[in-house]
Amino acid sequence: MIEFGSPWMLLGLLAAAVPLWLHLFGRRRAPVVYFSALDFILAQNPKRARALQLREWILLGLRCLVLALLALALARPAVPWPSRGEALAIGNQPQAVVLIVDDSLSMDATARGETSFELARGRALRLIEALPAGSRAAIVASGLPARALNRQLSADRAALSETLHRLPFRPREDDAARAMALAQNLLEGGADLPVRRVVLLSDLQGTGWRNCPPPVLADDGPTVQLNIDRIDPDSRENTAIVDATVDRQADRTGAQVRVEVTIANHGHRAWRDYVSVSAGEREIKSLVPLQPGETARRSFLVPAAAQWAEVQLPADVLGADNHRTVRLDSATALRVALINGAPRPVARDDEVFFAARALEQAAGGPSEVVVDVLPADKLTVAALADHDVAVAANLAQTGPEGIAALQAYLQSGKGLLVAVGDNLPDPVNGYLRGIVPVELAGLRALGQRNGDNPTLHMTQLVLERAPAATGPVGLAARLRDELMPFADGLAEVRVSHYALVQPTADLAGKVVARFGDGAPALLAGHVGVGRVVLWTSTLDRDWTDFPLQPAYLPWLERTVHALAGSRALERKGAVEVGHAAVLGRDERADQLEVKAETGSDARIAAPTILQAALQRPAMWSVAELDAPGRYTATELRNGVALTSRPLLVLPPHTESDLYPAETGPLAQLRAAPQRQQPGQVPKSPAWTASLVALLLLLVAETAVLARGGRGRKRSPGWRQWLRARWARVG
């Protein structure tokens, strides 16, 4: 913004109106005498007449500008200097500086002809060049996972600049808290310098930076100063694809699948445009009107034969969230079979009603978990073959065919959740023997004794970790760890009836949860190579209020995932950039090769081949997937391919709202002056330029007067002038 040393001199701008007033009203006007000969001459040369009129207006404009520039020069203006206007006020003392460069998805928005990330990197490079002598600096990138690009503070400016030049953009989430913690750790090595400073170059996107604490060091060195250089995009009006899921059960013929697309308007203006879905050779469009802050959902039926669908929005300020790829095949969906032992005509009274609703809610989308309800009297090996987890609810004494089907299912290495109910036979001896990991001893009916029912609570037993994670103790311990965050919710459950189990030497190693009277409530163990969890009460409301408690949904979700094992790791079939992809492992494989098929952004160099390291038994972990697109994961043994499966990497949807955080620890700091005074951006004096322009205008006015005088003889050219001078000398 322009500043003036003597702003009162701007009153002189009124003098610019004097020539105009004189031209229009103040000139002495001679009486008009019409002379036919002169009219004849002007009529014969209209070009000359127009030239005279144009000359008068040019002189008028030049004289007005002369007076205006004279007033501006006397006011001593100072204007921002573009090449230096982005330098922060860091002073002249040697200091320790950590630059936090935001490389999250929101920084891909356009800003001043480039992206916000490129603008932030350019400012960081200029700041490194402007550091006072004796300073040391380091660089931290805040995209998930936040990482320090230098091990320690360095005085090598060339190396720091090279590190910044090599920093690539990746469409990640912000890992703001970890980035600030890394900056604090680096600044601990600068306690010998008089100033320690953190410079944050970011758009301060709300979801990423709202809860980030400012840096605080506890050592005896100088306190940490925080400078925030906020990068504002050209516009914050952005519409994004929030989610895209697939429902394969939408078409009973199996010829089509339904793609559910969720679009959000993160701007402050209404939006109305088309969203398109392409699958195979078919492209479908739908017009979507959105008010500010509104979210809309659209359904598209696409061919089931296509493996991928591409969802597209029109281009806007942030292009990375306008495209999303969706897997149409259901190979990654976790399939759960609910074996209904007591079907009821009223839905809410049915044995598996609450379990089915809970799994659908926990899935997050129809493409993540597929739930099938199977009648108990038609239980066969073929019916269970395609399912990863089975839930047996209130089975009666199952016949030989049903027992054989469950045993074959467990021998294939899959998981089974068993919940008893009023179909429990009396006596219970031999009930589901060879299916559950314990023997049932009977039924305890507490009713309303003493007006209170026993309470379910997590056992406090500390288990020894088994050497092999696939042993019975390992399954119970893992499930207990999964449920421990919900212990308070489980403590609210009331139960009136439950099954008793036979005490054995290894019973304690199978107990995950107990009732208030000490009886086992939830047990986990292995039957052969299969995984089995036993819930000694019902899944519906007959014996317990568990389905009505908030803990019911996470309990069932975590139990099903524990039973699914490595298959639960792949249920989404997609991973966001910055997160590790965890895949199930074929026990025969000794190597996993991940190859990029496509990248959603040509500027982002997708890795061609990645070699994944084995992190845990039965699992692969791939952490280098930094580019959105489609990948193929191939398991190898001695270089020979065993299995191959697609993997999808998506940009995060949390970065699409480009508005900065208005609350949080950094909000007040952001509002504080961050740049140099007086003013905060360095100013360049413009009054000298005004005087030069004034001089040029005076010269131009003289030239116009010299060339436009009426009746003036044409001046000789320079060649004639030289000849005349030479003749005189001769």
**How is 372-400 classified by DSSP, letter by letter?**
EEEEGGG--HHHHTT-SEEEEES--S--H
Average pLDDT over residues 383-391: 87
Average pLDDT over residues 109-135: 91
Same domain, residue pair 62 and 139: no
Q: Is the pLDDT of residue 633 over 60?
A: yes
Average pLDDT over residues 435-460: 68
Region of poorest pLDDT, from 127-131, 311-315, 585-589, 612-616: 612-616
Confidence of residue 467 (pLDDT cuts 50, 70, 90): very low
State the CATH number of the domain containing residue 268.
2.60.40.10
Phi, psi dihedrals of residue 557, rounded to the nearest 5°: -65, -50
What pLDDT shows up at residue 202?
92
Q: What confidence tens digit (pLDDT) does each residue in 321-377 have?
A: 999 988 887 556 678 999 988 888 888 888 889 998 888 877 655 456 778 888 888
DSSP 8-state class, residue 169: -
What pLDDT shows up at residue 43?
63
Q: Which of 24, 16, 13 is nearest to 62 (CA)?
A: 16
What pLDDT shows up at residue 678?
36
DSSP characters over 526-567:
EETTEEEEEESS-SSSSSBSGGGSTTHHHHHHHHHHHHHGGG
Same domain, residue pair 184 and 60: no
Q: Provide the token pair at 342.
A: 């007591």
693 in a domain, yes or no? Answer: no
296 in a domain, yes or no? Answer: yes
Same domain, residue pair 183 and 254: no
273 in a domain, yes or no? Answer: yes
Average model confidence (pLDDT) across the chain: 79
Same domain, residue pair 256 and 319: yes
Phi, psi dihedrals of residue 75, rounded to the nearest 5°: -80, -5
Q: Tell me which of 534, 568, 602 is where a domain ends.
A: 568
The structure's pTM equals 0.60
Q: By the 8 A CB rule, do 290 and 238 touch?
A: no
Q: Is the pLDDT of residue 268 over 80?
A: yes
Confidence of residue 223 (pLDDT cuts 50, 70, 90): confident
Query: How many alpha carbons lie under 13 Å from residue 450 in its C-beta half-sphere?
Result: 4
Handedness of CA 110, 114, 118, 123 (dihedral sign): negative
Q: Are strands 619-622 and 683-685 parallel, antiparallel or unpaired?
A: unpaired
Q: Check residues 104 and 255 and name the one with the higher pLDDT.
A: 104
Q: Is the pLDDT of residue 706 over 80?
A: no
Confidence of residue 384 (pLDDT cuts 50, 70, 90): confident
110/119 Cα distance (integer angstroms): 9
Cis peptide upstream of residue 678 (ω within 30 degrees of 0): yes
603 in a domain, yes or no? Answer: yes
Same domain, residue pair 519 and 613: no
Percent of residues, the chain, with pLDDT higher than 90: 24
Percent of residues, the chain, with pLDDT higher than 70: 75
Maximum mean pLDDT: which of 33-42, 335-344, 718-727: 335-344
Average pLDDT over residues 445-462: 53
- 390 - beta bridge partners? 337, 416
Q: Are strands 629-637 and 591-599 parallel, antiparallel or unpaired?
A: antiparallel
Q: Check residues 62 and 677 and name the one with the higher pLDDT.
A: 62
Region of poorest pLDDT, from 71-80, 103-112, 457-466: 457-466
Q: Give SS3 for 695.
A: helix
Q: What confidence tens digit (pLDDT) does each residue in 285-328 have?
A: 999 999 999 999 999 999 888 888 999 999 999 988 999 988 88
What pLDDT shows up at residue 270?
95
The domain of 75 spans: 3-79+703-721
Q: What confidence tens digit (pLDDT) does each residue in 141-164 have?
A: 999 889 999 999 999 999 999 999
Confidence of residue 254 (pLDDT cuts 50, 70, 90): low
Same domain, residue pair 395 and 476: yes
The H-or-E segment that residue 117 falls in is helix 116-129
Measured distance between the N- and C-terminal CA atoms of the chain, rounded to whole angstroms: 63
What's the chain's Rg over C-alpha atoms? 39
690 in a domain, yes or no? Answer: no
DSSP characters over 254-268:
SSEEEEEEEEEE-SS
Longest dimension (CA), the chain: 143
What pLDDT shows up at residue 668?
65
Average pLDDT over residues 516-537: 88
DSSP characters over 503-526:
--TTGGGTEEEEETTS-EEEEEEE
Burial per residue of 185-204, b for 16 or more beta-carbon CB atoms within 10 angstroms, e otherwise: bbbebbeebebbbbbbbbbb
Same domain, residue pair 422 and 351: yes
What pLDDT shows up at residue 486?
83
CB atoms within 10 A of CB 621: 16
Q: By the 8 A CB rule, do 305 and 358 touch?
A: no
Q: Tell me which of 299, 327, 355 is where a domain ends.
A: 327
701/572 Cα distance (integer angstroms): 76
Q: What confidence tens digit (pLDDT) does each residue in 405-427 have?
A: 898 888 888 899 999 988 888 77
Same domain, residue pair 546 and 496: yes
Maximum mean pLDDT: which of 22-36, 209-223, 456-470: 209-223
Name the residue type at position 706.
A
Token match 């993997």: residue?
647
What pLDDT shows up at residue 311?
94
Same domain, residue pair 360 and 287: no
Average pLDDT over residues 56-62: 75
Maximum mean pLDDT: which of 116-125, 376-385, 428-437, 560-569: 116-125
The H helix count followed by the E strand count for the chain is 16, 34
86 in a domain, yes or no? Answer: no
686 in a domain, yes or no? Answer: no
Q: Tell me which of 568, 598, 628 is where a domain ends.
A: 568
353/347 Cα distance (integer angstroms): 6
What pLDDT shows up at residue 113?
84
Same domain, residue pair 535 and 581: no
State the CATH number of the domain containing residue 396.
3.40.50.880
Average pLDDT over residues 442-450: 69
Confidence of residue 138 (pLDDT cuts 50, 70, 90): very high
Count of structural domains, the chain = 5
What pLDDT shows up at residue 245?
82
Confidence of residue 253 (pLDDT cuts 50, 70, 90): low
What pLDDT shows up at residue 459?
45
Q: Give SS3 for 32.
A: coil
120 in a domain, yes or no? Answer: yes
Handedness of CA 698, 699, 700, 703 (dihedral sign): positive
628/361 Cα distance (integer angstroms): 27
What pLDDT shows up at residue 470?
40
Same domain, residue pair 229 and 245: no
Q: Which of 362, 413, 424 is nearest to 390 (CA)?
A: 413
Q: Is 293 left (phi over 0), alpha (psi -120 to 50) or beta?
A: left
Token match 């054989």: residue?
404
74: Cβ–Cβ under 8 A, 6 or more apart, which residues? 6, 9, 12, 687
Same domain, residue pair 394 and 479: yes
196/666 Cα distance (integer angstroms): 18
What pLDDT shows up at residue 75?
75
| Calculated CA dihedral for residues 585, 591, 597, 598, nearest 10 degrees | 80
Region of poorest pLDDT, from 222-231, 455-464, 654-663: 455-464
